[in-house]
Amino acid sequence: MKTLAKEFDSLVVTKAGAAYSITTGEGWRQVAPGLGQFVKSTYFDLGGLAMDDKTLFFEGATIQEVLLPSASGATAGDGAVVVDIMSVVPITDAEVINYMATANISASPSSTLTFDQTVYGRVRIFNVDLDNVAGGYYITLSDNQTGSLSATASDRIYCYRGVAFGVGNSDGDHAIYPARYLLRASAKEEPEFEYLMRLKRSYELQNEPDRD
């Protein structure tokens, strides 16, 4: 059994009028100039396991965080959505943001990742209300998780963290604090036929996304 870990740095953005900009956040990128949408990505390299013809079986996945999001000049009604994704296929920044609304639910025509492609997904909505506005921290309004934890023969697990701040948020700094992605997994050898079929399936998932 192995525990795989990847870490994401904090993100601090400044809102002035209708426009957002990155103040600090190594590796973070803005989806479009001025918009309050930001994405950072990395990946777990499983190439060593693939070379040994082993399959990775996931036992669990989770996200560790330091603090709730905060705002320097918080006002009631400030909002943010944070999405965390681990997948067997790469996706675009726009697809990361789109996951906030459609996740991997195939019934949605705009959904891009499938259930099998999503190892782990989490979408949370945060808000500043009258009771906690003085403290400057957002509170959690909803926390929803999706994903299959399906075994894979892929050589990478792609990790994405996306943030979308509200258009009407208060001016000033808004911060998302560091996070760590954890995957608990076992690498095992399968019978040759089963492994080859899983390898074929992994290839199909990466190169021919299923959009039911």
The answer to whether the CB of 205 falls within 8 A of the CB of 117 is: yes
0.85 exceeded by the pTM? yes
Closest CA to 13 of 162, 156, 140, 132: 162
- pLDDT for 157: 94
- pLDDT for 193: 46
Residue range 157-171: average pLDDT?
A: 97
Q: How far apart are the first and last CA of the chain?
A: 34
Going by pLDDT thresholds of 50, 70 and 90, the confidence category of residue 56 is confident
The amino acid that residue 166 corresponds to is G
Both tokens of 204, joined, read 């199909």
Residue 209: Cβ within 10 Å count: 13
Residue 131 or 211, more confident: 131
Going by pLDDT thresholds of 50, 70 and 90, the confidence category of residue 40 is very high
Residues 69-92 pLDDT 10s: 999 999 999 999 999 999 999 999
Q: Where are the domains of the chain?
A: 2-203
Going by pLDDT thresholds of 50, 70 and 90, the confidence category of residue 197 is low
Query: 86 in helix, strand or coil?
Result: strand
Average pLDDT, the chain: 88
Distance CA 198, CA 201 (A): 5
pLDDT of 209 over the 50 cut: no
The answer to whether the CB of 28 falls within 8 A of the CB of 9 is: yes
Going by pLDDT thresholds of 50, 70 and 90, the confidence category of residue 153 is confident
Enumerate the H helices of 24-178 as residue ranges.
47-51, 93-102
